[in-house]
Structure 1
């Protein structure tokens, strides 16, 4: 069920459970997403809202990974897929993992790199970007937020994919990357706070256009519900 929907430029943002929304979407060119890994990341970080981190409450969104039927649906509805955390999931064999090297010292206690499963016809590739520089040194909007430069790099492997779906949108980083590269975007997010943050970030991305990308100037957010 779609609880709320917003159209911002070429981006369609949906507040709802992707398990319920996906059957109504039809096909897309590509899925580029960062699902829950099922490692309880949220319980150790706390919920991030527009007002900042709330360490009194603990997110439960990362208690379990998506089901195999969910991944089967994503692979069926799209020609191309880039799925972060792919080493945690039951996905087909691939020759192309994309690796984010977080450029951390050997003493770093958390993961020093993350891997994305893809069906891209390419050898494995590495993107090096310090994890502490995700949001220009400012506080992150989401506990597991990726750099938009990383997601833009991912889209570079899909030059012919015009419409990108992220069924686990979070704070909208994939959408921001799509805006900067002139792609169409569909994002689904189950949490209202993160949905609102994604709307604001994507609106802000349109307000700072890339002079080399042809797109409508300063689109207004349209709420459909």
Structure 2
């Protein structure tokens, strides 16, 4: 299923299959939040519904589960290497990849970035602030990460923007439209790395927060989502931005 618009195009289905049908060197950046597959240290735990892995029992608002969050480290490396290779092909020379991840899968996804041919440029920190739930005898799980890379050398003269390496933004459960959705203000900050008028691709768009941030900053957006419910939500949400 494909839904076109003058400012965005949405696809419903498997990310890898959709990516293989996109034209080469057609987007300026891939900004995405793939399934982390990190909700448990055991295969039995990984196979649990995502709501059971990522949503606290005290959370009153329940959101639909999402698919694809079951791989171990080796499976995740093979899978991420495949879709990142296709993202590399569809990104213009000098274009960017930004992918969210947590500490458990951080080493694995940095391997996948390099296997897929990207030039690994660094790690951006999302500081979720002290509002995160504390755990006795441990450091607060206060940060997630954005691994970023480029297709070949960076073209800094094209868009000489300077952005911070740490973004402080509290998660707001009441604003979430996806179980692991990122704050809109965070995504609005990250898409500033893309040149004005550029095209942003998100092969795991969820509720399309990256798409909303892209459109509001004057960029084009291409999104893909496997879960039909979230695809419908993304479609409705982006239609409201036109």
Structures share fold, TM-score greater than 0.5: yes
Cα distance in 2 for residues equivalent to 1:196 and 1:81: 25
The equivalent of 1:11 in structure 2 is 8
The alpha-carbon deviation at position 205 of structure 1 amounts to 2.7
Cα distance in 2 for residues equivalent to 1:30 and 1:18: 16
Matches within 5 A, 1:101-140: 101-104=127-130, 108-109=134-135, 111-119=141-149, 125-132=165-172, 138-140=174-176
Cα distance in 2 for residues equivalent to 1:131 and 1:106: 8
> What is the alpha-carbon root mean square deviation over aligned residues?
2.7
The alpha-carbon deviation at position 117 of structure 1 amounts to 0.9
Cα distance in 1 for residues equivalent to 2:179 and 2:132: 22
Deviates more, 1:196-205 or 1:93-102: 93-102
Q: Secondary structure at the match of 1:117?
A: strand
Matched-pair contact (CA < 8 Å) for 1:37–1:62: yes
Deviates more, 1:184-193 or 1:161-170: 161-170
Deviates more, 1:155-164 or 1:13-22: 155-164
Deviates more, 1:95-104 or 1:17-26: 95-104
* TM-score, L = length of structure 1: 0.75
Cα distance in 2 for residues equivalent to 1:106 and 1:149: 18
Matches within 5 A, 1:183-198: 183-198=219-234
Matches within 5 A, 1:55-70: 59-64=66-71, 65=76, 66-70=79-83
Gaps of 5+ in 2: 40-48, 56-60, 155-161
* TM-score, L = length of structure 2: 0.70
Q: Report the CA distance shift for 1:60/1:95 in structure 2 as closer, same or farther (over 3 A).
A: closer
